[in-house]
A and B are shown apart, each in its own frame.
Chain A
Amino acid sequence: MEEISNLFQGFATVLQPFNIMVMIVGIVLGVIIGVLPGLGGANGVAILLPLTFSMSPTSAIIMLSCIYWGALFGGAITSILFNIPGEPWSVATTFDGHPMAQQGKAGEALTAAFTSSFVGALFAVIMITLVAPLVAAFALRFGPAEKFGVYFLAFCSFVGMSKEPPFKTVAAMMIGFALAAVGLDQMTGQLRLTFGFTPLLTGFDFLIAVIGLFGIGEILLTMEEGLQFKGRSAVINPTVVFQTWKELPRYWVTSLRSCVIGCWMGVTPAGATPASFMSYGIAKRMSKRGNNFGNGEIEGVIAPETAAHAAGTSALLPMLALGVPGSPTAAVLLGGLLIWGLQPGPTLFIDNKDFVWGLIASMYLGNIVGLLIVLTCVPIFAAILRIPFSIIAPIILVYCAIGAYSVHNSNFDVVMMMVFGVLGYFLKKCNYPLAPLVLAIVLGDRAEESFRQSLLASQGSLSIFWSNWLVGTIMALGLIALFWSAIQTTWTRLRAMVTA
């Protein structure tokens, strides 16, 4: 096993004292970046990139990848505590994580989230260690049609599993698509739906929408309900971590499934966000307690977090092996590689062995160190909810405003955030689900792009979505997911008829 001996050499590199220090600094910075909405992993890595120029490439990539792991961990914290996703991929974590916090189970939710993140990342790293070249080649099979298939599957599994009336889900999703269409049309290079108003040139940034819809919307609702957090009863319990750990092995099927979904989505450059949504949707459909999802089910935290981390980690694989970044953060890391004088791509594994295996070894150790750091802080994070609402609400508001501002350094975005907050409040009051809307804003323009690219290539023929087994299978899965409830009812009726 040449891989194993290479890996051990990598461990030897990473375990030098300087590299361990770099690792801890990276994780802590990453968690801070993940907690701040707006300052996403990609921006954080980009801002901190210059710090690494004076290091050796191996130390530098350890630092940057640890920032990345830290950001992946940190994204979950504000999602669970305040319903404000720090990162796009932690949106799905809010669905059950925040209700858990409201029921005084913030510690459990955080522990579950962190542990699942770790499991997902570990699974992906093991996959990278063992089958890197094989998986990398698979990613190449994904052209526009296949990419659209993946997005289609994500949307369908969401509509199909929704417990709200399907029409409300579809309506919310369509608002999301409309918002995603604003700005520059990638396919024609023309501005759309901006009505000559220049600030709309960049479209509605997903993060602004999410900070408004979830964060501000939540504050408005809480204000109406009597100015207090329901999570106030949370007791600080240092043993909460171990108690939660006892429960977790019960959900191994969900974990494993989410790992596979995550790795697949990470490698096929769809990324961590659709992975987390899809994994949540499928878990809801498959779980025995699926009907209770959205009311604080621990499985609803495990599924998206595991998948997001598996995807976030495996997204680095195509970057290393093909020079194709699987996520925006990976794209910044790619820029870093070039600055350090390394050429990503098929030759990296041969020309710069030390570097590649040092990085892979740092993925193992970085995640372990990260898990230890965030878990020790769980009781402290959970204690934040004990602060009275009248003190914390203004802080959250300011924090949301800073987050929204920092996305594009623009005041207009802060105004947009407030508008989205009001929209979120009304949608919640009318029982429209916010999740499909957000999903459509995140993936809408990407899905549209691959759809139109496919049709350009096929000269308008829809048959391109059935043109090979890969895209055909994905599309078929999507359709099954979309009509799942109908299929299920028909099946039960048929069975009843046969037995009768």
Chain B
Amino acid sequence: MTRPIHTLSFGAAFALGTALALTSAVPTQAAWEPTRPVEFIIPAGPGGGADIMARTIQGIVTKHNLMKQPMVVINKAGGAGGEGFLDIKASAGNPHKIIITLSNLFTTPLATGIPFNWKDLTPVAMLALDEFCLWVHAETPYKSAKEYIDAAKKANGTFKMAGTGSKQEDQIITEAIQKITGAKFIYIPERGGGAVAVQLVGKHVDSTVNNPNEAISQWKGGTLRPLCVFDSKQMPYKEVIAEGKSWGDIPTCKSQGLDIEYLMLRGIFMTPGATKDQVDYYIGVFKKVRETEEWKKLMADGAFNQTFMTGADYTKWVATEEKRHEELMRAAGFLAKQ
């Protein structure tokens, strides 16, 4: 199966080479296109949400031939993603490197003090936003977030909440819940969303704030139950998942007295100093990716919020989010000591 792909890319490279030779003779500037394989960095480990999304994109790009050069996916998960961000920062002027981000774009530099800020990178596009839900084990009696929080208050700080990583999105949400309700939780950091869900299935913890796609199979399997979603409105997906309910039937946490909104960025950035032509090229590729059936399926399965942003809107959104994370983390005492 490898042969057709290879001959194709060789052919494409050859054609591109000829094209470049021709355009260099003609003064008109052609739009930028990659001339080498493009590295797609994931600042997280294999198997997580960002990893699945990046690998799906790679599959879509390969299958539908959306780029003339191959796309190579590389995990650089070390130091809560710091490894990946520092690599992109150090590759200034290399347009053949892009990175997918999650909230660790903000949380990692804030919590560890590594020399990195999103302003070091060139923003390309927001692909989607990932939702967060409050999950409990299906065998517990709690039918609403309110019942669960009341029980947690009565338990006097012995309820356990598992989440991905330390001082990252899951713990930030947990802190926010504690602040708003006064209930206290023991927060137990795990390595990834999958491990978090399993700890809850095995009843080693009382609740989690998993992303929808991290817990969907357990919900289908009848072991986990979502109580509410941390968004301003209910999710738009109507397909029935389990117990006759769809993602759209899950109430917002706000309606349950938990006034917390938290969405995680799934966006794309480039290396420092990328030109407008280069950014536009990648925006074009991702627009095509978004139109494919595979992408739509990924969005529906993971109940993603499908906001798409580019340019100044995107940059402004990221700047606002950074400020919000800094405030949330300062309030929780998560900022690195200077």
Residues of A near any B CB (own CB < 8 A): 22, 42, 46-47, 49-55, 140-144, 183-191, 198, 201-203, 322-325, 328, 331-332, 334-336, 338-339, 341, 343-348, 408-409, 449, 453, 456-457, 459
Assuming the contacts A201-B86, A457-B186, asked whether A184 and B80 have C-beta atoms less than 8 A apart, the reply is: yes
B169 to chain A, nearest CB (A): 11
Output the residue of B1, B45, B58, B189 with the most chain A CB within 10 A.
B1
Contact partners of A22 in chain B: CB under 8 A: 1
Q: A142–B202 contact, CB under 8 A?
A: yes
Residues of B near any A CB (own CB < 8 A): 1-2, 5, 45-47, 51-52, 55-56, 58-59, 62-63, 72-76, 78-80, 82-83, 86, 107, 111-115, 158, 160, 165-168, 186-191, 194-195, 197-199, 201-202, 204-205, 213, 216-218, 220-223, 297, 301, 334, 336
Q: B79–A191 contact, CB under 8 A?
A: yes
With the chains together, A304 CA to B187 CA distance in Å? 37
Q: 14 A-B contacts, Cβ less than 8 Å apart?
A: A184-B78, A189-B107, A189-B168, A191-B79, A198-B114, A323-B194, A324-B198, A325-B47, A331-B45, A334-B47, A339-B52, A346-B218, A346-B220, A348-B217
Task: Pick the 8 closest A-B CB pairs, nearest first.
Answer: A202-B78, A345-B217, A331-B47, A143-B204, A189-B166, A346-B221, A189-B167, A201-B79
Q: B2–A51 contact, CB under 8 A?
A: yes
Name A50's closest neighbour in chain B (CB-CB): B62
Q: A46–B194 contact, CB under 8 A?
A: no
Q: A201–B111 contact, CB under 8 A?
A: no
Contact partners of A190 in chain B: CB under 8 A: 111-112, 336
Assuming the contacts A191-B79, A202-B79, A453-B188, asked whether A339 and B55 have C-beta atoms less than 8 A apart, the reply is: yes
Contact partners of A459 in chain B: CB under 8 A: 158, 186
Contact partners of B112 in chain A: CB under 8 A: 184, 189-191, 201
Contact partners of B62 in chain A: CB under 8 A: 50, 53
Contact partners of A331 in chain B: CB under 8 A: 45-47, 194
Q: Known pairs A46-B75, A456-B188; list 15 more (Cβ under 8 Å).
A: A49-B59, A50-B62, A52-B1, A54-B63, A140-B198, A140-B202, A189-B167, A190-B111, A201-B79, A201-B83, A331-B45, A339-B56, A345-B218, A347-B220, A348-B217
Q: B217–A456 contact, CB under 8 A?
A: no
Q: A187–B189 contact, CB under 8 A?
A: yes
Q: B82–A201 contact, CB under 8 A?
A: yes
Q: B83 contacts which of A47, A52, A202, A456 (Cβ < 8 Å)?
A: A202
Name B195's closest neighbour in chain A (CB-CB): A324
Contact partners of A322 in chain B: CB under 8 A: 198, 201
With the chains together, A408 CA to B216 CA distance in Å? 32
Q: A343–B216 contact, CB under 8 A?
A: yes
With the chains together, A345 CA to B224 CA distance in Å? 12
With the chains together, A408 CA to B113 CA distance in Å? 22
Q: B204–A335 contact, CB under 8 A?
A: no
Q: A46–B1 contact, CB under 8 A?
A: no
Name B220's closest neighbour in chain A (CB-CB): A347
Name A343's closest neighbour in chain B (CB-CB): B217
With the chains together, A187 CA to B167 CA distance in Å? 9
Contact partners of A449 in chain B: CB under 8 A: 191
Assuming the contacts A335-B46, A335-B47, A457-B188, asked whether A347 and B1 have C-beta atoms less than 8 A apart, the reply is: no
Name B73's closest neighbour in chain A (CB-CB): A46
